[in-house]
Amino acid sequence: MAIPGREIFRTYDEFGCIQVFDDGQKRYLGFGSNDEQSCLLKDNPSLLAHGYTRAMLLCLLLHEPRRAVMLGLGGGSLINCLYHRVPDLQLQAVELRVEVMRVAQRFFQLPRDERVQVTIADFASYLETAPAHSADLLLCDVFTGEGLDGRLLQPAFLEQSDRLLSDDGWLVMNCWVDHRLEKVMLAELGRRFRSVYLCATQEGNWIILAGKPAVAFAEKQLTAAAKKLSPQLGFSLAPFVKRMTRYQA
C-alpha cells in the first residue's frame, strides 16, 4: 500500500532514500519503500498515531522510568510523545542516519531541548560503549527499507541490552508477529529477563516488554493503571492490556 498524501520532500544519503509525505492532516516518513516509517498528527504532534507505538508505552504501566534510550529515531514520534507527556523523563535517541535526524527536526517537530539528546551512531556500536546500568528503559524500533534489523533478534543484542539497563530496567522491542517463531531469541529473553510480556497489535506488530525485575501484574491492576494514565497520554492503553500475555519459557 502506497504512503498517503503528496511527497513534499526527498533526499538521499549513503543508506538510500528518505521521503516526507503530507495529506493535509498527517505527515509521513518513508525510506523509499511503500511502508511508512513514522506518522505525525499535524494538529496534535505529541499524540501517537499508530497502535504499535501506543502499545510500546505499556511499559509505563509496568515501571516509572527516569532515563530512556530509544534505538531508531525515525520521525521521532515516540520521543515527541514522551517529551511532552512524561515531563521528568530524560531521553536519548540513537540514530544511524544524520539525515533522518535533520528530517525529524525539520518536518516532524523533534524537540530541540537539553532533555532530548540524539547520538548519530549504529545502535550496536552505541550499546558496546554506553555505560553499564545507564538507562532504565530501552525502546527499540529499528527498521530499514527492507524491514526489521535482524541484529535485534540475536543473543548479542539482548546481552548488551541487559548490560545497559539498570536492575529495575525494561526493554521494549517492536517486531512483527512472524518473529514469534524466533525460538532462540525468546529463550535468551527468558534467560536474561525475569519478566517478559508480549502484545500482538491489530496492525501485525509484536511488542516485547522484558523486565529485569521479577514482577507479575493482573489484568485488572493494569487496566486501572491505564485508566489513570489516559488523560496524560491522550489515549487509553486498556485495549492493549487485553492483548498482553506473559511469556513462559
Q: What residues have CB less than 8 Å from 111, skipping those under 6 apart? A: 76, 79, 80, 83, 84
Please answer whether residues 23 and 30 qualify as being in contact, where contact means their C-beta atoms are separated by less than 8 angstroms: no
Helical residues (DSSP H) of the chain, grouped into ranges = 51-56, 59-62, 77-85, 98-107, 123-129, 155-164, 183-192, 219-233, 238-241
Instruction: Give me the amino acid identity at 138.
Output: L
Question: What pLDDT does 139 receive?
Answer: 98
Residue bearing cell 544519503: 13
Q: Is the pLDDT of residue 236 over 80?
A: yes
Closest Cα to residue 42, out of 30, 24, 54, 29? Answer: 24
- Domains of the chain in sequence order: 51-246 (3.40.50.150)
3-state secondary structure of 246: strand
Tell me: the pLDDT tens digits for 69-111?
A: 999 999 999 999 999 999 999 999 999 999 999 999 999 999 9
Selected residue with higher pLDDT from 226 and 204: 226
Question: What pLDDT does 245 receive?
Answer: 93
Question: What pLDDT does 2 receive?
Answer: 85
Please answer whether residues 237 and 58 qualify as being in contact, where contact means their C-beta atoms are separated by less than 8 angstroms: yes
Position 145 confidence tier, pLDDT thresholds 50, 70, 90: low
Selected residue with higher pLDDT from 40 and 144: 40
Question: What pLDDT does 1 receive?
Answer: 66
Question: What pLDDT does 161 receive?
Answer: 97
Position 20 confidence tier, pLDDT thresholds 50, 70, 90: very high
3-state secondary structure of 68: strand
Q: Is the pLDDT of residue 61 over 80?
A: yes
Report residue 103: phi and psi, to 5°.
-65, -40
Query: Is this structure's pTM higher than 0.85?
Result: yes
Question: What pLDDT does 184 receive?
Answer: 85
End-to-end Cα distance, the chain: 37
Tell me: the pLDDT tens digits for 168-199?
A: 999 999 998 887 767 888 899 999 999 999 99
Q: Compute CA distances 235 → 48, 161, 176, 242, whole Å.
A: 8, 29, 23, 15
Position 150 confidence tier, pLDDT thresholds 50, 70, 90: confident
